[in-house]
Amino acid sequence: MERNERNISLKKAMVIFTVLFYSAWAVFELAAKPWMSENIKNEALFSILEDGVIKNLVWTLPAMLLVSCYSSDMYVGLKDMFTQKVNRLRYLPVFLVFAAYNLCGAYLSHGKLGISGRFGIGEIICVLFVGLTEEMVFRGWLLNATLGKDKKKQWTAVLLNAVMFLVIHFPIWIKKGIFVTNFTSMGFIVLMILSVIFSVSFIKSKNILVPITLHMFWDLMQFMLF
């Protein structure tokens, strides 16, 4: 009975978190962020506030607290997901595929390779924090909680997580006016494939630092080359 009650409590926590999280981030992207961009002209300061402060408070901190609270019901506990030993060479092919994909894409788009003129301190700050915040929420908390101790539903959890990861990008796409474009160009598929890769790497390694590092590397390549 106690186990069943904890499962119900965990599911309620996930639902409440999801509703509040998606609502809060939509409000931030569509209302608060435009106000910030109008009033904060320093790129580095803006990135620190958005990615280093606000995103960690809204994304990382609640996710870590929830994983800690329901640690015994998680696929991987909070401490273990940072300390689990990993064979780093096992994930080298993924980094190489990411590099090849982005390098080829940049060359086909621009006819040459080079560092993007838009790559600056703001983008560096974004790379450092976005991988941490997004992976902590979507792999460290949501996927971790969905998996629980039941290994039979891994792919269902991975696919559900990919959809949730896609949806969190809707507000910024709407704000930038690229919502329809990302669907007609099939760009959303790349995002979902990335989510699956990050999820599988977390499941296999049981270490959140693996998808965080992969995510950071992908973002770095995107910012540097495009």
Q: Which amino acid is at 174?
A: I
What's residue 118's pLDDT? Answer: 85
- Rg of the chain taking only CA atoms, in angstroms: 18
Q: What is the mean pLDDT of residues 137-157?
A: 91
Q: What is the mean pLDDT of residues 200-220?
A: 98
* In the block, residue with structure tokens 């296999």: 204
Examine the pLDDT at 1 and tell me if it is beyond 80.
Answer: no
Structure tokens, 148? 């629980």
Calpha distance 191→218 (Å, rounded): 11
Q: Collapsing DSSP states into helix, strand and coil, what is residue 48?
A: helix
C-alpha angle 72/78/79, rounded to 5°? 110
Calpha distance 43→121 (Å, rounded): 7
Ramachandran class of 8: left when φ > 0, alpha when ψ lies in -120 to 50, beta otherwise: alpha
pLDDT tens for each residue of 98-113: 999 999 999 998 888 8
Q: How far is CA 10 from CA 142, 170, 186, in A?
A: 11, 26, 34
pLDDT band at 2 (very low <50, low <70, confident <90, very high): low
Question: What is the pTM (predicted TM-score) of this model?
Answer: 0.93
Burial profile 186-222: b = 16 or more Cβ within 10 angstroms, e = fewer = eebeeeeebbebbbbbbbebbbbbbbbbbbbbbbbbb
Examine the pLDDT at 128 and tell me if it is beyond 60.
Answer: yes
What's residue 4's pLDDT? Answer: 66
DSSP letters spanning 120-177: SHHHHHHHHHHHHHHHIIIIIIIIHHHHTT-GGGHHHHHHHHHHHHHHTTHHHHHHHT
Q: Collapsing DSSP states into helix, strand and coil, what is residue 109?
A: helix
Q: What is the mean pLDDT of residues 191-220?
A: 98
Q: What is the mean pLDDT of residues 157-184?
A: 97
Q: What is the mean pLDDT of residues 204-214?
A: 98
Q: How many residues does the chain have?
A: 226
pLDDT tens for each residue of 42-100: 999 999 999 999 999 999 999 999 999 999 999 999 999 999 999 999 999 999 999 99
Q: What is the mean pLDDT of residues 154-159?
A: 96
What's residue 165's pLDDT? Answer: 98
Calpha distance 11→148 (Å, rounded): 11
* In the block, residue with structure tokens 């770095």: 220
Residues 137, 63 contacting (CB under 8 angstroms): yes
Examine the pLDDT at 196 and tell me if it is beyond 50.
Answer: yes
- Domain spans, the chain: 2-225
